[in-house]
Amino acid sequence: MEFQPGNDPEPAPRPAVGSLVHDGRRQAIGVVMGHVGPNYQLRPPSGGREWDAAPGDLRPLSPAEALAAKVAEANRQSRQPR
């Protein structure tokens, strides 16, 4: 479909709080913690300092990427002292 003035494309869906996304600018995976204004606040899946990301830099993870991130976090937690 060709873009015509007045035929705005559908806006990208907002990532839900708690979802995993890829930040293309940082080349990092983050958990969406919230959003203020146009930016999203992300945190590494294993915890740590939040960072701001522009919506255009974010994309949802593929099922394989999401699984790999969850397995990496589970492995990290299994190595923690009890």
Structural domain that includes position 26: 20-78
Summarised one tens digit per residue, pLDDT across range 30-61 is 999 999 899 999 999 988 999 999 999 999 99
Supply the pTM of this predicted model. Answer: 0.78
In a domain, 30, yes or no: yes
Number of domains in the chain: 1
In a domain, residue 13? The reply is no
Average pLDDT, the chain: 88
> Per the domain annotation, does 11 fall within a domain?
no
Tokens of 3: 């873009």
Give residue 17's pLDDT: 96
- Classify residue 72: in a domain, yes or no: yes
Q: Is residue 14 part of a domain?
A: no
pLDDT band at 82 (very low <50, low <70, confident <90, very high): confident
C-alpha to C-alpha distances, 62 to 29, 48, 59, 82, nearest whole angstrom: 11, 23, 9, 32
